[in-house]
Amino acid sequence: GLEETICSARVTDNLDDPSNADVYKPQLGYISILNSYDLPILRFLRLSALRGSIRQNAMVLPQWNANANAVLYVTDGEAELQVVNDNGDRVFDGQVSQGQLIAIPQGFSVVKRATSDHFRWVEFKTNANAQINTLAGRTSVLRGLPLEVITNGFQISLEEARKVKFNTLETTLTYSSGPVSHGRPR
């Protein structure tokens, strides 16, 4: 029985093929995810991976890993990153470039914006089916909240709450020009 399962199990998959992209915007780039649905053996490892390749000024909307830690390794280019921890503190605010590694723990929110022609990275996640939740965008947590929760939670008007909730139609990648980073973490 083993030769029919473990020995013949597929253990490789290529993430550098944009035709397999899960998120794709011609002007901004693509993101491919490799989880246990794509590569079943990952279920045993309880690990998954993500490959991103975005152009200059493309921004990955702020998001957090709901059920995994992530380790991000830069393979090409540079990007500005901001990372926020459970206390609401910005624990990283700066550039990451080729060859560098940064760990993003579960629940920590992160935003990435490419500052070089192409920013490419691979992320390894400690869950076979890592789930992200986004703070902004059409499938975001703010979009899923009632307006009353937003108005009361943030003490903003109904009109402002509508803008917060509905203005961003993208789900993952958006365009963002100009500097957004202010140097050292607060």
Partner 1 sequence: QFPNECQLDQLNALEPSHVLKAEAGRIEVWDHHAPQLRCSGVAFVRYIIESKGLYLPSFFNTAKLSFVAKGNGLMGRVIPGCAETFQDSSVFQQGQGQEQGQQGQGQGQQGQGQGQSFRDMHQKVEHIRSGDTIASSPGVAQWFFNDGNEELVIVSVLDLASHQNQLDRNPRPFYLAGNNPQGQVWLQGREQQPQKNLLNGFTPEIISKAFKIDVSTAQQLQNNQDNRGNIVRVKGPFGVIRPPLRSQRPQQEEEESVGN
Residues that bind partner 1 (CB under 8 A): 46, 59, 61-62, 64-69, 82-91, 93, 105-107, 109, 111, 126-127, 131-137, 139, 141-150, 152-156, 159-160, 162-164, 166-169, 174, 176, 178-182, 186
Output 75 or 181, the one with its CB closest to partner 1.
Answer: 181
Q: 149, 142, 146, 148: which is closest to 165 by C-alpha?
A: 142
Output 88 or 99, the one with its CB closest to partner 1.
Answer: 88
Q: CB 9: neighbour CB atoms within 10 A? A: 11
Closest distance to partner 1 from the beta carbon of 155 (Å) = 7
Phi, psi (deg, nearest 5) at residue 125? -120, 145
Distance, C-alpha 158 to centroid of its chain: 29
Output 6 or 154, the one with its CB closest to partner 1.
Answer: 154
Closest distance to partner 1 from the beta carbon of 167 (Å) = 4
Closest distance to partner 1 from the beta carbon of 9 (Å) = 23
Can you give the three-state secondary structure of 8-70, one letter per residue?
Answer: CCCCCCCCCCHHHCCEEECCCEEEEEECCCCCCCHHHHCCEEEEEEEECCEEEEEEEECCCCE
Closest distance to partner 1 from the beta carbon of 66 (Å) = 2
